[in-house]
């Protein structure tokens, strides 16, 4: 079963004290699509400009990502540039050029509209809603977000939440959305906004899943070196949905495994700039780490 | 098998926006001893002043804690007072009166000197070493510490580390000790200082154990409300050692279970001021939460 993924498709320029990495493939949909592609075929929805490098279109295709829903518009591709501090923990934005993203209205090809598994990766909630409106009878819809939308588009986000099966956000966003410091209480409040499943990402501390089966605490894969955490959250939710779409059975029964696969693919993402390391991963390498996580939590 | 626990025995006055809790039973050894007592008999080593309330001696005794090694000295009991901010996340020290602790030289009763399972709870490393010198042939020695000793007594601490089986510290202390941001690398460096097992506490994010069997990631028990985290780390290591001392088999094989029991007892500790909630816990309640943790990580 293929998955539909909509989100941003961008070029990221990432500076570190020792290196410059200009115009890497970035954007929430790019990360999520590559991550999902290890598990299922992907139908991508996004927009790029005429300047979008051919090599990135080839990269998508190599991962079996269907580009029928990728608009190529007159103008420049969304470009983000940022800089890391010496300890690699803090990143600051140098510039954000929206380019063709400013006028993006996602229009789904007919062949996408019967999608059952849908990921609304991080973009404006109004665009996430617009995509959802075009899908006939989705079976499982998950959305990710960011603090920006909590600040400037909360009414749209609340509308979206009522239509989701699962909602993914990080711990500080969960606190901001619910005005609740305690994560268990925050999860409870987010359920009341709509989603049956709520997944809180905590970076190196793993994630917490809340659903009808209670709580699930998933560890992050312990890495010896984090090169660049950009996109790890997008890989997490992309891999998670990719796994859910191809494995049979109730969502309740397979969500925990899917979340662990999400953590594992996110760990590869952190080991290289942009998608450099993720695209060199294989399903075998992913399965090996999955088994390492099994051993990591056994007692 | 009984455990020997040395550390501070104190009175804590804890202020919150709505309540004052004067002269609660506190100190690393008090927390650790009560926590260990759910699993094994405890031989306590510490010092209190003539002002130490009888009710706390009774509390120790109710938990089967042997007080032969508790000195009662002329002078006042170590008294710490602190205040919580409105959101209960930040605590600031209002005063620290060392009292009889200033001249404390732990002297072990003869009956304590054959101890096999030893917890050197948080006190000055020189005192931890002094206690260790008096034990004939310890089988398993674990020590806890705090940032203060990293700052003012590092040479003693490094001497101590060479004689430990296990070392427990929190994540910021692990970073400070190793000058390493990455926790996996920090664990590796701490092993090189001596201990076979290193356990990094991460508060609400659980703990990471490193030993010959690789890494173990233990979740914290997810609490709906944290009332007072004071002493949770001491309860963690106390319960851990108590479990290790009474259950047969290799340390390697039972350490993970012991750490989960540590997390569970620490969770009770966080639910009340001082030891208020911990002392009302029962082994049945602890076992119930242990099983909840099993369900929490299963995938």
Across the interface, whether the CB atoms of B222 and A208 are under 8 A apart is answered yes
Percent of all residues in chain A with a pLDDT value above 70, rounded to a whole number: 99
**Confidence grade of residue A118 (pLDDT, cut at 50, 70, 90):** very high
Give me the pLDDT at residue B89, please.
Answer: 66
> pTM (2 decimals)?
0.95
Give strand pairing partners of A4. A43, A118
Give me the pLDDT at residue B16, please.
Answer: 81
Comparing CA positions, the residue from A294, A18, A10, A252 lying closest to residue A140 is A252
Return the residue of A nearest to B291 by Cα.
A299
Give me the pLDDT at residue A89, please.
Answer: 66
The whole-number average pLDDT for the span B139-166 is: 97
Give strand pairing partners of A21. A14
Question: pLDDT tens-digit profile of A45-64?
Answer: 999 999 999 999 999 999 99
Residue B116 contacts A, CB cutoff 8 Å: no
Return the residue of A nearest to B290 by Cα.
A299
Residue A61: which residues within 8 A CB-CB, separation 6 or more?
A: A67
Return the residue of B nearest to A216 by Cα.
B296
Does the pLDDT of residue A248 top 90, yes or no? no
Distance from CA of A249 to the nearest CA of B (A): 14
Across the interface, whether the CB atoms of B215 and A222 are under 8 A apart is answered yes
Give me the pLDDT at residue A88, please.
Answer: 64
Give me the pLDDT at residue A92, please.
Answer: 87
**Confidence grade of residue B61 (pLDDT, cut at 50, 70, 90):** very high
Residue A213: which residues within 8 A CB-CB, separation 6 or more?
A: A252
Question: Which of B181, B216, B298 is opposite residue A296, by nearest beta carbon?
Answer: B216
Give strand pairing partners of B142. B119, B166
ipTM, 2 dp: 0.93
Residue A172 contacts B, CB cutoff 8 Å: no
CA distances from A272 to A1, A227, A238 (A): 29, 5, 18
Give me the pLDDT at residue B85, please.
Answer: 78
Return the residue of A nearest to B253 by Cα.
A299
Residue B36: which residues within 8 A CB-CB, separation 6 or more?
A: B3, B5, B42, B119, B238, B239, B241, B242, B245
Residue A24 contacts B, CB cutoff 8 Å: no
Return the residue of B nearest to A203 by Cα.
B205
Q: Which two tokens stand for residue A143?
A: 């959305």
Comparing CA positions, the residue from A7, A48, A3, A47 lying closest to residue A29 is A7
Residue A299 contacts B, CB cutoff 8 Å: yes
Residues of chain B contacting residue A226, judged by C-beta atoms under 8 Å apart: 182
Residues of chain B contacting residue A294, judged by C-beta atoms under 8 Å apart: 299
Output DSSP code: residue B277.
T
**Residues A39, A48: Cα–Cα separation, whole Å:** 25
Give me the pLDDT at residue B88, please.
Answer: 64
Decide which of B1 and B277 is more confident: B277
**Confidence grade of residue B193 (pLDDT, cut at 50, 70, 90):** very high
Helix axes B54-62, B28-36, angle to 10 degrees: 30
Residues of chain A contacting residue B226, judged by C-beta atoms under 8 Å apart: 182
Does the pLDDT of residue A87 top 70, yes or no? no
The whole-number average pLDDT for the span B119-141 is: 97
**Residues A178, A169: Cα–Cα separation, whole Å:** 12
CA distances from A238 to A56, A129, A247, A259 (A): 18, 18, 15, 10
Give strand pairing partners of A95. A81
Give me the pLDDT at residue A120, please.
Answer: 98
Does the pLDDT of residue A6 top 70, yes or no? yes
**Residues B153, B129: Cα–Cα separation, whole Å:** 12
Residue A182 contacts B, CB cutoff 8 Å: yes
Q: Return the SS3 of B154.
A: helix
Does the pLDDT of residue A37 top 70, yes or no? yes
**Confidence grade of residue B87 (pLDDT, cut at 50, 70, 90):** low
Decide which of B188 and B19 is more confident: B188
CA distances from A40 to A66, A180, B265 (A): 11, 36, 43
Residue B249 contacts A, CB cutoff 8 Å: no
Output helix, strand, coil percentages for chain A, rounded to the nearest 5.
40, 25, 35
- Mean pLDDT value across chain B: 96
Q: CA triplet B87, B92, B94: central angle to 5 degrees?
A: 130
A229's enclosing H/E stretch is none
Residues of chain A contacting residue B170, judged by C-beta atoms under 8 Å apart: none
Residue A51: which residues within 8 A CB-CB, separation 6 or more?
A: A76, A77
Return the residue of A nearest to B258 by Cα.
A299
Comparing CA positions, the residue from A260, A234, A242 lying closest to residue A118 is A242
Residue A86 contacts B, CB cutoff 8 Å: no
Distance from CA of B80 to the nearest CA of A (A): 27
Q: Which two tokens stand for residue A183?
A: 């994560």
Question: Considering Cα of A117, then A240, then A119, then A66, what sign does the dihedral take?
Answer: negative
CB B156 within 8 A of CB B129: yes
Question: Which of A87, A182, A216 is opposite residue B226, by nearest beta carbon?
Answer: A182
**Residues B13, B19: Cα–Cα separation, whole Å:** 11
Residue A217: which residues within 8 A CB-CB, separation 6 or more?
A: A206, A207, A208, A209, B206, B219, B222, B296, B297
Q: Going from the N-terminus, what domains does chain A have, and what CATH number goes with each?
A: 3-297 (3.40.1190.20)
**Residues B271, B268: Cα–Cα separation, whole Å:** 5
Question: Which of A205, A257, A259 is opposite residue B202, by nearest beta carbon?
Answer: A205
**Confidence grade of residue B149 (pLDDT, cut at 50, 70, 90):** very high
């Amino acid at each position: 079963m293929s998955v539909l993924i909509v989100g941003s498709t961008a070029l990221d320029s990432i500076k570190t004290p020792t290196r410059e990495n200009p115009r890497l493939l970035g954007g929430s949909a790019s990360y999520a699509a590559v991550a999902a592609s290890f598990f299922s075929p992907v139908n991508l929805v996004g927009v790029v400009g005429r300047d979008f490098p051919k090599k990135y279109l080839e990269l998508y295709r190599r991962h079996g990502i269907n580009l029928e829903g990728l608009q190529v518009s007159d103008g420049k591709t969304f470009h983000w540039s940022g800089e890391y501090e010496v300890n690699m923990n803090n990143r600051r934005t140098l510039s954000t050029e929206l380019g063709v993203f400013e006028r993006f209205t996602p229009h789904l090809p007919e062949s996408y509209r019967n999608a059952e598994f849908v990921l609304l990766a991080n973009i404006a909630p109004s665009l996430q809603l617009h995509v959802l409106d075009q899908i006939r009878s989705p079976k499982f819809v998950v959305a990710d977000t960011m603090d920006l939308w909590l600040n400037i588009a909360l009414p749209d986000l609340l509308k979206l939440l009522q239509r989701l099966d699962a909602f993914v956000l990080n711990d500080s966003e969960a606190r901001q959305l619910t005005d609740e410091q305690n994560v268990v209480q925050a999860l409870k409040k987010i359920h009341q906004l709509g989603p049956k499943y709520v997944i809180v990402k905590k970076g190196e501390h793993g994630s917490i899943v809340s659903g009808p089966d209670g709580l699930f605490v998933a560890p992050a894969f312990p890495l010896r070196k984090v090169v660049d955490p950009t996109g790890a959250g997008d890989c997490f939710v992309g891999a998670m949905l990719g796994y859910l779409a191809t494995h049979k059975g109730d969502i309740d029964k397979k969500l925990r495994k899917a979340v662990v696969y999400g953590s594992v693919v996110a760990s590869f993402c952190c080991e290289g700039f942009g998608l450099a390391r993720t695209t060199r991963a294989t399903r075998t390498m992913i399965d090996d780490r999955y088994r390492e996580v099994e051993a990591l939590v056994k007692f």
